[in-house]
Amino acid sequence: FMDDHKQLILDMHQAQMDQGGKVKGGFTVDLSGAVVEVLWQPWESCVAYALAQAIRMCAVLMGLTESGLPDPEWIYWWARYLAGATDRDMGSYPYLAMEAIARYGYPWQGQSPPPPDAYTAPPLSDARAAITQAAKVERHPIFSASEMRSALAARQPCVMGITIDQAFVDWADALADGTAWELSGPAKGRHMVCVVGYDRFGAIIVNSWGKGRHAGGFLRVSWQTVTDATDRYAITAVPRLPEIQR
């Protein structure tokens, strides 16, 4: 970003936070104003996109937008490299995506990722030289819905893995009062999402299927869904001087 563009982004999202975020309603905690954009994931890359969304939110909430917002595709492919697989249609485990972030960092938003075949080996030195981090990204396990509420209240975006059905895919009345999605039909597979807030009816998530799904990309899931979820983490970013991952 140019400096004036960075400040415009920061001011815009601070105003959204002051007004209660992007989603409308009397939510107990609402961090949706820190969502720079609703992402759209290609392939089976929900883990990388949910984590990238959470890290982007940390950057906005902590005023670290000058450090750059992570490109989900880099995180996805290097997680695939760590898993020993390069197939576009394979997902990745959260711990591998976090290891990829810790080991290789992430590029600033707007940098073009290398071709997919570059991810069959560790990043080359010239690629690493383009990667800096102004924050150490950490994940903190969440063992209950109560702990997730506490993390969100502390302005920590969260991620979690859920089992979804066709109703989730089609869920349109996403934020109506008292309406919360909960698994009720045959499972279609696993999905990773970013949690941005909550109210008494459930947790508010931002999905990675673009703004055309749900309510502009947001929906509420039940507290039972949070309880049944796996890979629940609060994501934090600890500021530090930029350094090159070697």
14-51 tens-digit pLDDT: 444 444 455 555 578 999 999 988 999 877 789 988 99
Condensed to tens digits (0 to 9), the pLDDT of residues 94-153 reads 888 888 777 776 666 666 555 555 556 655 555 554 455 556 788 899 999 999 999 999
- Sole residue written with tokens 């990238």: 52
**What pLDDT was estimated at residue 112?**
54
SS3 244: strand
User: Which residue shows structure tokens 């997680």?
Assistant: 79
Cα within 13 Å of Cα(172), Cβ side? 2
- Average pLDDT value over all residues in the chain: 77
Predicted pLDDT at 21: 52
Give, in order, the Cα–Cα distances in Å from 230 to each of 122, 163, 190: 29, 9, 10
- C-alpha to C-alpha distance for 208 and 42, rounded to whole angstroms: 9
DSSP code of 122? Answer: P
